[in-house]
Amino acid sequence: MTKKIVFVDVDGTLVNDDGLVPESARTAITKARNNGHQVYLCTGRSKPELYESILSIGFDGIIGAGGGYVEVDDQIIYHKKVANEDVVHMVDFFNKKKLDFYLESNGGLFASENLESHLNKLIYGDVENDPIAREKKQNNPHPFIESLTFGEPNLYRTDVNKACFLENKAVPFEEIKKEFSGKFEVMHCTVPIFGDDSGELMVPNIHKATAIELLLEHINRDQKDTIGIGDGMNDAEMLAFCETGIAMGNAKEELKLLADEITNSVDEDGLFASFQKNGLI
């Protein structure tokens, strides 16, 4: 068969809600690459969020920051950053509205003042008063919290790829979207614990499909040989662009309507099943 180019989302596709990669997914990717297919990460995460537990699987390259960053064989071929004045705008707005957020750059993930306590509560529980929550934090620290930089005095950075904010029920998602209309693409976040009205601010007109198109041109391969697998609405363009678009069983219902195929959920070996069905393994 023609060797395929496969684009794999991370959250809800490659890793589950606990940030763990099912062994079946690791096996599927390794076998597919051994069979001569190329497999690329295609994620909303920026590079500092791609932990060793993920990268150690082995990939041919990375599309990160929702399409704002493209790396092939350790070579950066594209990197789009947020304009400095737009960083100032979103930092000031988030602080004024008391939205907890973090800025993503390839140099790190930089957290707002109260983000750590907010995340501790969401992930561990009441670490101040509950000994079980404290023990959980001490003995099983979450890699995402460990990857964040806290206490940065100035978040007016010049190296920002995108930003993520957590839900604040006092600030409707539509208000945030309206505030940044024309400046950012404001999308719902794909991390469930961040809340239904959490979101991501991305540079407009950049998404996973634009990055895939650029990557294909770089490696001189054809769109007809592509497979895209995802679960969130930031995967919509990818599934529409790829020759075969696959939605996970745990995917958003709107995404399933766009997909050519629907596989099992991430915890039901969905990635492995999709690779098997499409003859990659």
Q: Would you state the pLDDT for residue 71?
A: 97
Question: pLDDT higher for 49 or 6?
Answer: 6
Same domain, 75 and 213: yes
Angle at 156 between CA 151 and CA 161, to 5 degrees: 100
Same domain, 161 and 263: no
Report if residue 142 sits inside a domain: no
Q: Which one-letter DSSP state was computed for residue 243? A: S
Average of pLDDT values for 116-138? 92
Q: What does pLDDT average to over the chain?
A: 95
- How far is 257 from 239, CA to CA, in rounded Å? 11
Report if residue 120 sits inside a domain: no
14-40: burial string, b at 16+ Cβ within 10 Å, e else = bbbeebebbebbbbbbeebbeeebbbb
Residue 1 has pLDDT above 80, yes or no: no
Q: What's the domain count of the chain?
A: 2
**Which tens digits make up the pLDDT trace of 17-63?**
888 999 999 999 999 999 999 999 999 999 988 999 999 999 999 99
- How far is 235 from 33, CA to CA, in rounded Å? 22
Phi, psi of 249 (to 5 degrees): -65, -25
**DSSP-assigned letters across all residues of 40-60:** EEE-SS-GGGS-HHHHTT--S
- How far is 21 from 118, CA to CA, in rounded Å? 25
In the block, tokens 């990939």 appear at: 59
Report if residue 131 sits inside a domain: no
Which of 187, 202, 217 is the last residue in one of the domains? 202
Print the domain residue range for 196.
84-113+147-202
The CB-side HSE value for 129 (13 A sphere, CA atoms) comes to 2
Q: Which one-letter DSSP state was computed for residue 15? A: B
Same domain, 106 and 179: yes
**Which tens digits make up the pLDDT trace of 146-184?**
889 999 988 999 999 999 999 999 999 999 999 999 999
Same domain, 151 and 254: no
* pTM attached to this predicted model: 0.83
Answer yes or no: are the C-beta atoms of 271 and 13 closer than 8 Å.
Answer: yes
Report if residue 123 sits inside a domain: no
- How far is 197 from 253, CA to CA, in rounded Å? 17
Same domain, 92 and 55: no
Q: Would you state the pLDDT for residue 261?
A: 98
Report if residue 121 sits inside a domain: no
Average of pLDDT values for 134-145? 89
Instruction: For the chain, give the percent of residues with pLDDT over 70.
Output: 100
Residue 190 has pLDDT above 90, yes or no: no
